[in-house]
Structure 1
Amino acid sequence: MRKMLIVAVAAVCIASFSHESRASGDDDFPQGRCKLPQGTVALVEKQLSTVVNLADGNGGIFKPNRMWAAIVDREGHLCSVIVTGDAWPGSRAIAIAKAYTANGFSNDALALSTANLYAATQPGGSLYGLNNSNPFDARFLEQGSGIGRTLGGVITFGGGVALYAGGKVIGGLGVSGDSACADHAIAYRMRKLAGLGTVPGGEGPNNTDNIVYSTSGSPMGFEHPHCFPTDLSAAAIENTH
């Protein structure tokens, strides 16, 4: 009986929070390595289960949220992909692309979350077409593939934030599995709890890269549309403990 209980508990732990490892088929393509400071990946990863289980929730469709989370280094190498709950399989690639986007379009002077890029990339916007600039490498759509490689992908709705340490961008975090607004809240909160969210400046509230909700039907500038009535305000997202 004790042995059966241990096996059952282990199964629950694996189901609630699992990592990906490199698939053998990846050897057909050049591979780099994650260049984030030692311990950074584990520090960010462990925040996922904390944030999706916060008492106030993160808005969106599910509670607790069912999420993929991906981390890239400054060069765009995929360092980590984890999942919690029965998250949509299609969200894996989206999380990776959000991490790549936030890292790719943030620097040491200005942080831009993927939520901040929404309005400008819509038809008629000044960055329309940006989503086609760095296509996702579809060879690594299979779960368990792509670790150590630069997969690309550009996503311009909420859920991706750059990671900062010592005033410098060191990589990006992307999450996907719920509404774009909930995804943003989770990514922003994960980064804050990991201590990697001190940005140099941004176009969001209080000079951050937090979400800026549109006050009209047509988002402009760095605005993002609301998703659901349950969306967390930027202030609520910022006040994560």
Structure 2
Amino acid sequence: MAKILTKTLVIGLSTVAALSVNVSAHADDLDNDKDLRLGCPVTYAQLKSAVTQAAQADTTGLDNDYWAVVVNRSGNVCAVAYSGPTIDSQWLASRQIAAAKAFTANGLSLNLPKGPLSTAQLYGFVQPSPSGGNPLYGLQFGNEQNAKRAYQGDYNAFGTERDPLVGARIGGTITFGGGLALYNGSNVVGGLGLSGDTACADHSTAWRTRTILGMVGPGTDTIPLTNGATPTTGGHPRCPNDTGTQGQATSS
């Protein structure tokens, strides 16, 4: 009798635990649903068309294809697409990097008149400084990406309207080219991240993609290319085949 009661109790507790996990997960989904009610600044079809056009137009870097991710203003992923003909046409690892770039650009950009920061603008100021005092050193370790959430789901749905990233706020902080804020007039409405090529080409093609989407802000979030980006000078390193980089501040 005692064994039966013990077994029944164990089964009962297991059921309660499973229900608690399901309720917690459902609560998280509801939170994400609330955030998604803020809306997505683009549709999947718009993002897919824009990044495909931009990738075809841009020949900088390695001339690779890209993953493109958009987050809404709350930082939730709301659209994921790729520019190549198939899911295997671009680096798989770049999907999560693109999402982190979108999160970073959105999270560090403000409504006008203060304006945007691109991930490219962060590079020089997060490098270790021999004298110390680099104000943004260590920034890249902030807002770590939720890797478990980023990698889950059906691979065959990646880059489609059913991409498992949609609805998730996975975070991430990237401090090289490819992340730009999206604007509707003077207001930030989300972030765009591209990844799949050199950091300069990612920025260049993201710039083209944002222009096609018609969501350009004041245009101050350029990539400041320099031959020797340092904590003192700031800037972003030059990349192979970076002539013709779109959204470039300076070239030296």
- 2:54 maps to which residue? 51
Among 185, 200, 208, which residue is 1:166 paired with?
185
Measured after TM superposition, the shift of residue 221 of structure 1 is: 5.0
State how 1:33-112 maps to structure 2 within 5 Å. 33=33, 34=36, 35-36=38-39, 40=43, 42-54=45-57, 57-62=58-63, 65-85=64-84, 86-108=89-111, 109-112=114-117
How has the CA–CA distance of structure 1 residues 117 and 39 changed in structure 2, closer, same or farther, with 3 Å as cutoff? Answer: closer
- 1:214 maps to which residue? 226
Among 117, 140, 148, which residue is 1:139 paired with?
148
Among 105, 117, 124, which residue is 2:122 paired with?
117
Among 129, 133, 137, which residue is 1:128 paired with?
137
How far apart, in 2, do the equivalents of 1:217 and 1:163 lie? 26
Aligned partners of 2:76 and 2:170 also within 8 Å: yes
**Which of the pair has more CA radius of gyration?**
2
Paired positions, count:
201
TM-score (norm 1): 0.75
Aligned partners of 1:59 and 1:231 also within 8 Å: yes
Measured after TM superposition, the shift of residue 40 of structure 1 is: 4.9
Among 156, 167, 176, which residue is 1:157 paired with?
176
Aligned partners of 1:114 and 1:161 also within 8 Å: yes
Gaps of 5+ in 2: 1-21, 156-162
Aligned partners of 1:214 and 1:220 also within 8 Å: no
How has the CA–CA distance of structure 1 residues 236 and 133 changed in structure 2, closer, same or farther, with 3 Å as cutoff? Answer: closer
How has the CA–CA distance of structure 1 residues 133 and 37 changed in structure 2, closer, same or farther, with 3 Å as cutoff? Answer: closer
How far apart, in 1, do the equivalents of 2:189 and 2:197 lie? 26
- 1:10 maps to which residue? none
Aligned partners of 2:61 and 2:240 also within 8 Å: yes
Tell which deviates more after alignment, 71-80 or 213-222. Answer: 213-222
TM-score (norm 2): 0.72
Tell which deviates more after alignment, 140-149 or 185-194. Answer: 140-149
Gaps of 5+ in 1: 1-24, 200-206
Greater share of helix: 2
How far apart, in 2, do the equivalents of 1:176 and 1:118 lie? 16
